[in-house]
Structure 1
Amino acid sequence: MPSTPKAVVAAWVEAFNRKDVDALAALYTEDAVNHQVAEAPVEGREAIRAMFAAGFAAAEMVCIVENCFEDGAWAILEWRDPLGLRGCGFFHVVGGRIAFQRGYWDKLSFLRQHGLPLPPTRESRR
């Protein structure tokens, strides 16, 4: 198991790009929280595993590292994908595992790029 936050994120990127949900889940603490701010927080290793499995089933996702920084127990990842979407993630690493992750990316652009259903607009909900 990698020990530094930056090494954990490097392992995370490798597992993500292999679409290896078991390897991804193993990088999280049992009670980890993954909060992609465009979504509700996901709590617990198994729920995070299921989130990745559903995401890989729905879309072809690839993480291309642009920058990765480490500050104490945190790693900060700036990424892009082959379709031009960009985002960043913050990973709090405790004991060599991710205890908390927060990600920022444009959900509407992601859905459009992958031909996925768009959320209803305010007008369509009336």
Structure 2
Amino acid sequence: MQPKELVESWVKAFNEGDANKISSFYADNAINHQVANEPVEGKAAIHAMFSEEFANAEMVCITENIFQDGDWAILEWKDPIGLRGCGFFQIENGLIVFQRGYWDKLSFLKAHDLPIPQ
């Protein structure tokens, strides 16, 4: 599976809110670094992160663009409430080994009526 195709499947799993399914796209030693947060290391920790996030907020990822460059895929996204962001996915042997995401955390927390850290 090409990186672009893998990210298309990742978006589908994300929109299903299925932590088991989405974590299956990651290598055991993967790193997910949403730059508004500390990096999450390891498939089990990534699974726990998605489980918590899916329980706390209803999230929808609408793909605007997916670009591929070698073993990288770049996702530009928006959601129904107007948030926008982008993610970079490094793929090795058909699995995500590194992911970096950029989005506005304060807007996300306010939109979902979640606590704002002090």
TM range (shorter): over 0.9
What's the TM-score once normalised by structure 2's chain length? 0.99
User: Which consecutive aligned stretches of 4+ in structure 1 deviate over 3 angstroms post-superposition?
Assistant: none
Task: Tell me the C-alpha RMSD between the 2 structures.
Answer: 0.5
Residue 96 of structure 2 aligns with an amino acid whose one-letter code is: I
Number of positions where the alignment pairs a residue of Structure 1 with one of Structure 2: 118
Q: Please give the secondary structure, in 2, of the residue aligned with 1:57.
A: helix
Residue 50 of structure 1 aligns with an amino acid whose one-letter code is: A
- Cα distance between partner residues in 2 of 1:20 and 1:60: 12
Query: Structure 1: where are the runs of 5+ without partners?
Result: 121-126
Deviation at 1:23, TM superposition (A): 1.0
Query: Structure 2: where are the runs of 5+ without partners?
Result: none
- Cα distance between partner residues in 2 of 1:4 and 1:48: 22
Report the equivalent of 1:84. Answer: 82
Larger Rg, first or second structure (1 or 2): 1
Deviation at 1:119, TM superposition (A): 1.6
- Cα distance between partner residues in 2 of 1:49 and 1:13: 15
Report the equivalent of 2:38. Answer: 40
Residue 73 of structure 1 aligns with an amino acid whose one-letter code is: D
- Superposed CA deviations along residues 73-108 of structure 1, whole A, max 9, x for unmatched, are 000000001110000000000011000000000000
Q: Please give the secondary structure, in 2, of the residue aligned with 1:52.
A: helix
- Within a 5 Å distance, the mapping from 1:1-126 to structure 2 comes to 3-120=1-118
Residue 71 of structure 1 aligns with an amino acid whose one-letter code is: D
